[in-house]
Amino acid sequence: MHWQHASGTLSLDKPRIFGIVNVTPDSFSDGGRLTSVDDARRLIDRLVAEGADAIDVGGESTRPQGATPVSADEELRRVIPVIEAAVKDHHGILISVDTVKSRVAEECAAAGASIVNDVSAFRLDAEMAAVCARVRVGVVLMHSRGDVADMATFTHATYGDDPVREITDELCVALERATAAEIPAERVVLDPGIGFSKRSAQSIAALRELDRIAAIGRPVMVGVSRKRFIGELTGVTTPADRVAGTVGANVAALDRGARLFRVHDVKPNREALDVAWAVLDGAP
């Protein structure tokens, strides 16, 4: 399987890792850590050295405690210098921008981002699908409900007896939004949105039954890194200490069909996923 994006094609014949670069003061696990472009540069250097296939740069948090939405101007002020630095420092690096705003997507694509990671799956900005079609980026359409302030809370975590069915149906609607905007299916990756409008049991069900989401026919990304359900399962309260739980969830997701993994800690996930893949697929 392949994924087309603005600067080429990413082959998904092995697990692909997106290293997280949150340029936000309030992200749940690493907020406020990057206070300058130089800090972001150093983090990107490390993520690339540890084996990231791409970096995912975000300037607006969706933290579970209820995030504060930021203006497009502020988001651009945070992410553009980081994208420009990444392009300069790492020739050919694959860059994704984590945004729900079409203006941010468009300007980041012009600055060198080849992928738009929209945690609202084109729900929150009526122009987003058309912009992504025009600038020919690859898109990640992630399942969520509600707006930026409450999508990572339980406000909309209201499911019947088959939550994965509802998640799958809503991702199919997102894929139709992309198709209607003439984004070729080959440019689309789907993501169940672990922890977004989901209680832990619903996040775990989405991972356990990930094959139902993969059956839609598009590659699947998961973002489990350091998330709350891992804390609940392990008792590890500090998000940055949830590395082993994150690796466990990612290896299980790989077995159920995920091929793209959005993580804070690249090295342990790279090693674990490469070894798991050699065992599962038989191809070192």
Site residues for ligand HH2, window 101-120 (CB under 6 A)?
Answer: 117, 119
Strand segments (E) across 168-275: 188-191, 221-222, 260-263
Contact 20, 50 (CB under 8 A): no
Token pair in block for residue 265: 């800690």
CA distances to 50, 139, 178, 224, 250 from 184, rounded to whole Å, are 32, 10, 8, 27, 28
User: Whole-angstrom Cα distance, residue 34 to residue 39?
Assistant: 5
86 binds ligand HH2 (CB under 6 A): no
Instruction: Figure out which of the listed residues 28, 229, 261, 277 binds ligand HH2, where binding follows CB under 6 A.
Output: 28
213 binds ligand HH2 (CB under 6 A): no
Q: Residue 213: left (phi > 0), alpha (psi -120 to 50), or beta? A: alpha
Residue of 78, 187, 218, 227 marked active site:
227
Stretch that binds ligand HH2, among 57-65, 68-76, 127-135, 172-180 (CB under 6 A): 57-65
27 vs 269, beta carbon nearer ligand HH2? 27
The verdict on whether 101 is a catalytic residue reads: no
User: Whole-angstrom Cα distance, residue 236 to residue 87?
Assistant: 36
Site residues for ligand HH2, window 216-275 (CB under 6 A)?
Answer: 221, 223, 262
Active site residues per annotation: 227, 262
Give the residues lining the site for ligand HH2 (CB under 6 A): 20, 22, 24, 27-29, 58, 61-63, 98, 117, 119, 140, 142, 191, 193-194, 221, 223, 262
